[in-house]
Amino acid sequence: MQKIFHKWQHRPKLKLTKTFQTVITDDLDLAKTILDSGGVIAIPTETVYGLAGNAMDRDSIASIFRIKNRPYFNPLIAHIGKIEQLKSLCSTIPKEAQELIDAFWPGPLTLVLPKKKSVPDILTSGLNKVAVRMPSHPMTLELLKSIKYPLAAPSANPYKYVSPTCAQHVKNQIGSSIPLILDGGQCEIGLESTIIGFEENMAVIYRLGGLAIESVEEVLRKPLVIKTRSDNYVLPGQEKRHYSPGKEIVLIPFEGALPPIVNPDVLITWKPNKSSHNSLSLDGSEISGASRVFSILRELDNSKIGKIYIERAPEKGLGKAINDRLERAAYPF
């Protein structure tokens, strides 16, 4: 992947001056009106809630970076409602990308593809590729089909904090910075999208997420090249510390020995267990764990507990992405 240009290595400078009386609503016409006028709103997706603005409008994109306090070197994903829109964003679509689109869109898969010149540099942090996804949440898909431009939509939380999986989470974290939150209920998957790109004809995974690697490999009929972490931090969005609940988190191996603790409140096991009051998964499935992991990290943020032990997920399917998020949340301050 291309190195990030020096000029993007800084944070938004402008301070937010505007505050709003945020409405939580399902009014798609109002959402469209705000977006058409260059505004930024929160939208539901099947992964997490996104902070959305016109992906072809530099000012809307700049507002998203400012509201999140996200550094400009961390590029945004363009969300589309129709496959034909890809042509306005990407110059070429590799055969394998097309296979993945046919298999998984709409859904929790982002593809990084060569970008067209017309795509604003601020969206891609100056990179010559653009990340694109078609989300499957019916409300957002309807919104995307009703507008003439893609939406840039990173998770609707301040940079490095836990991603929101319901409208109220958004309101609590960034409510007054945006006029409207589209309420589409609880996010079905609860983890961000899986990100895949192509380097020298090899399919590369950049972020583990809501689509299991195994499903992608099955369609491509070969293993993916894994580039989900970088010790030198040259790839965007791969910070070791992220999803921060501001607590000391100690990870226990999946089905490993539990620590000798007296208070079951400071232990979160993978599945319900009599040693703990809380579990990541309600039934031992990865799907349940994925949809709960961010809510649990958020509850920790609000609790008085100083140190918490969390059992890892099994290292398969969505469990790999859950463990990725737990590791970043547990990374020492």
Query: Which one of residues 66, 137, 171, 207 is an interface residue with ligand AMP (CB under 6 A)?
Result: 207
Q: How far apart are CA 77 and CA 144, in angstroms?
A: 14
The H-or-E segment that residue 276 falls in is none
| Residue 201: CB minimum distance to ligand AMP, A | 17
DSSP strand pairing (129-133 vs 77-79): parallel
DSSP letters for 113-176: EEBPTTS-HHHHTT-SEEEEE----HHHHHHHHHSSS-EE--BSS-TTSPPP-SHHHHHHHHGG
Stretch that binds ligand AMP, among 74-82, 180-188, 255-263, 284-292 (CB under 6 A): 74-82
Footprint of Mg ion on 233-292 (CB under 5 A): none
In the complex, minimum distance from the CB of residue 74 to Mg ion, in angstroms, rounded to a whole number = 9
Minimum distance, C-beta of residue 206 to Mg ion, in the bound complex (Å): 14
Q: Kindly state the number of chain residues that form the binding site for ligand AMP, as judged by CB under 6 A.
A: 18
Q: Quick check: 77 binds ligand AMP (CB under 6 A)?
A: yes
Do residues 89 and 116 lie in contact, with contact meaning Cβ atoms separated by under 8 Å? yes
- Name which of 49 and 149 has its Cβ closer to ligand AMP: 49
Q: Which CB atom, from 155 or from 269, has the smaller least distance to Mg ion?
A: 155
- Which of 45, 60, 63, 155 is the binder for ligand AMP (CB under 6 A)? 155
The Cα–Cα gap between 21 and 23 comes to 7
Nearer to ligand AMP, 29 or 200 (CB): 200
Cα–chain center distance at 56: 20
Among candidate residues 103, 109, 117, the one with its CA nearest the CA of residue 134: 109
Q: Map the footprint of ligand AMP across residues 102-131, applying CB under 6 A.
A: 112, 124, 127, 129-131
**Min. distance of Cβ 260 from Mg ion in angstroms?**
36
| Interaction partner, residue 77 (Mg ion, ligand AMP, none; CB < 5-8 Å by kind) | ligand AMP
Chain centre to alpha carbon of residue 11:
19
Kindly list the residues in this chain that would bind Mg ion in the complex (CB under 5 A).
155
